[in-house]
Structure 1
């Protein structure tokens, strides 16, 4: 899930009718002092609260919350906080706000109840830290996905708080606004803790946490969410490249996270890991770790991914240096057509001239065809590529992988740009656009290779005498979405020794990251 910082969440609350403390975020100590002075100009006491903006609870316990009246104190606290790290995340901003005089605290939380398959609001007549230990005192307020929280449940929750009629009305409005705010950004969860009744008589959202549904991020560019992933570290350049691939192609899923840059002590080496399906991938990762290796990354391509997506995933995995091998294994009962994954891997392995061992387990539909594709492409490569089926256990293939690595004499992978046939640069080459790429055909050889291309493309590319060369057999928009079929044509032509056909697929940002060098 994509998480927002407190200051971002409060802006959403304010836009939906909540009162929030005056203040703003600051990324430097000088800016924090300026923010405090702006508040002091309108306040008698001038006391402010400075809070780190970090995705964690219990900020006060780690020195992430402080109060100050004097500019020098604000500067001291802000300087210290902006030098902090929470986990692997550096603190990049602090929130400087007016101090709220609190009379009472409440807890409000919106979440999606997966069991009920409906929104739910959780309310408690006491907020702040320790709410988890007071779970018995909370109330669950059911919500209709269109109309919001049930009026009777809201009234019952509010009536239990012993508030005046005016304050009870404000609290009920806050509960309803919580639903509206969450729905406005398609939040998976939205927590206000605490919602305070200030001594001024107003309800104020003193703190908040919001997570946005991954699939909604693309519909809310105004939130400025770069990557809808809950990494335990700031996104790496390679993770940014991978996320862009996922956002540009929604056929199946693709998840990539870097785990280690160097092999652990006494490890047999770094391994590029490529899974398919969460449970099977976890079991396969255990197998390769038990075989003595360090996993460089976690990758999952599942949900019937396109061959093009699997190709791009392999390219990204192989952008990591010093790998001793490529290990692919996931669910043994996948319902997806595994030959598409095999074609994607085969193209990536050939283009990058793979020189480290690869062991790939593609259990599920059409697994025999998938294994055959890998077996045939292995004959064109310098390193062994072995394919396995669902009946082959992760532990067994991990042991086989260890044997292949041991026989590779310490070879380590060096990332490189893909090899591209020379004819692509010839001005006479024909180009046909596809989704995030293009097909290139050597027109000088067209008559010799025409039948092979027509066959392996399934008739997507045909001879048109009137055009004196190759042409699309479908309308351009429909043809553009046949990139996986054309990728298969690319591989089959390569395996048949047919030169003159090449599918170029873009991986935006990857070439720049690698420097374009072989």
Structure 2
């Protein structure tokens, strides 16, 4: 999913008619001080990263003056929270909180639901996992009919919201649904939804995730990469997303796996399909080799898309091998993979002579595909450690792992000379 930072999500909530605190993002302590001065009252300074638990890590500070906002921003900017460097802080007005609530809309993928679901709780401001089940109220939303005001009111009555506040809450919940649908969200969460001392409802936080398949419909959001990463996107991640963004014919997924480009034993990893990917990981793990990246070319992609993925995987510096892991009898026509891999290797191997390459490919058009690989890679400069296998080893992770390890050891020894 494409995750937005808090300040970005709040801007879309504001445009949907949901009140948010006054404030904006800052990239420097000086800018934070200026924003606090413009607000003219106590503010919250909050790290903007794709990670939870900011308050517990000291990345949210409440201050009274612009000078204190500057100092708070200086102490937060540049820190790292769960692997994410803090490059911006949100400076916004401090709210006079009377009560905190929790509301989210997610996709309920259960077989008896398969629709959006709203969850509401009077126990906001804390992890929803910590809230007792009886205090979480759930409402399935028809994708066709949407969330009606009376449905929201019914849920709020069950949650114990006072009669004089019912329409206030219901209006916010209905607006949240409209925002969820309009922006093609996968998740849209406000925690906490604050009831202020003067009776206003304000979104004090926002978690917004847009369905990656719908990002093309929202260029106004400026989403750079429509994927969820456990780290800040790398150059390889950006290149990988470029393949998917510009070509939707089958899958052509590439992302980094923490490859440091210096340690030995990393393999350019090119699996075909999810189950195949797991088996390939098993083959690598058994022989203590490590994937430099994750990839996937399934769903019958065209050869040009497979080629782009293979070329990215092979072009990573200092890898000790390449594994095409077709650990499945695929019904897609595998000669597209064969043509693509031949082209990529013919371009890369002369620059990386002797690079170990174990190619496992089987399924539809298998004989033709293996013939393309063998003929296309014969007499190629640098192709001295290329082994090609078909269905006889489709589930044999032990064999594939051992063959790759043997070639890698030869290659490493050669590089040390």
In the alignment, structure 1 residue 386 sits paired with structure 2 residue 406: no
Tell me which residue corresponds to 1:98. 93
SS of the residue corresponding to residue 59 of structure 1 reads coil
Conserved? CA contact 1:284–1:395, under 8 Å:
no
1:222 CA displacement:
0.9
1-structure distance, mates of 2:248, 2:82: 31
Aligned-pair Cα RMSD in Å? 1.7
| CA shift in 2, pair 1:409/1:67, >3 Å | closer
Q: Tell me which residue corresponds to 1:48.
A: 43
In the alignment, structure 1 residue 221 sits paired with structure 2 residue 219: yes
Which of the pair has more CA radius of gyration?
1
Mapped contact 1:58–1:129 kept (Cα < 8 A): no
Shift in alpha-carbon separation, 1:172–1:403, aligned structure 2, 3 A: same
1:305 Cα shift? 1.0
Distance 1:135 1:330, change over 3 A: farther
- Name which of 126, 133, 142 aligns with 2:123: 126
The answer to whether the Cα contact below 8 Å between 2:102 and 2:121 also exists between their aligned partners in 1 is: yes
For residue 367 of structure 2, what is the aligned residue in structure 1?
Answer: 368
Q: Does 1:329 align with 2:325?
A: yes
TM-score w.r.t. the length of structure 2 is 0.92
In 2: Cα distance, 1:161 partner to 1:409 partner = 64
Q: For the residues of structure 1 that align with 2:313 and 2:100, how far apart are their CA atoms?
A: 49
Question: What's 1:444 paired with?
Answer: none
Partner secondary structure for residue 254 of structure 2 = strand
Does 2:345 correspond to 1:341?
A: no
**Contact 1:332-1:389 within 8 A present in 2 as well:** no
The answer for the alignment partner of 1:398 in structure 2 is 401
Partner-residue secondary structure (3-state), 2:214 = helix
- Asked if 1:310 corresponds to 2:306, the answer is yes
Deviation track 1:479-498 (CA, whole Å, cap 9, x = no partner) reads: xxxxxxxxxxxxxxxxxxxx
Question: How far off is 1:325 after superposition?
Answer: 1.5
**Which residue does 1:117 correspond to in 2?**
114
State the Cα distance separating 1:409 from its structure 2 match. Answer: 5.9
**Partner SS, residue 63 of structure 1:** coil
Distance in 2 separating the partners of 1:362 and 1:152: 56
- Kindly indicate whether structure 1 or structure 2 has the higher relative contact order, using CA contacts under 8 Å at least 6 residues apart: 2
1:280 alignment partner in structure 2: 276
Tell me how far apart the structure 2 counterparts of residues 404 and 369 of structure 1 sit (CA, whole Å).
26
- SS across alignment from 1:147: coil
1:164 shift after superposition: 4.2
8 Å Cα contact 2:153/2:167 also seen in 1: no
Rounded Cα–Cα distance in structure 2 between residues aligned with 1:163 and 1:351: 66
Which residue in 2 is equivalent to 1:7?
7
Matched ranges for 1:12-51 at <5 A? 12-40=12-40, 46-51=41-46
Q: What is the TM-score of this pair, normalised by structure 1?
A: 0.75
Match of 1:76 among 54, 71, 81: 71
Structure 1 unaligned regions, length at least 5: 41-45, 413-518
Contact 1:111 1:190 in 2 (8 A): yes
Supply the distance in 1 between the matched residues of 2:195 and 2:319 (Cα, whole angstroms).
Answer: 57
CA contact (8 A) 2:137 2:159 kept: no
Aligned length: 404
1:206 maps to 2:204? yes
Query: Cα deviation per residue 1:463-486 (whole Å; 9 max; x = unaligned)?
Result: xxxxxxxxxxxxxxxxxxxxxxxx
Q: Is the 8 A contact 1:187 1:210 kept in 2?
A: yes
C-alpha change, 1:390 and 1:173, in structure 2 (3 Å) is farther
Deviation at 1:150, TM superposition (A): 4.8
Give the aligned partner of residue 253 of structure 2: 255
In structure 2, list runs of 5 or more residues that go unmatched. Answer: none
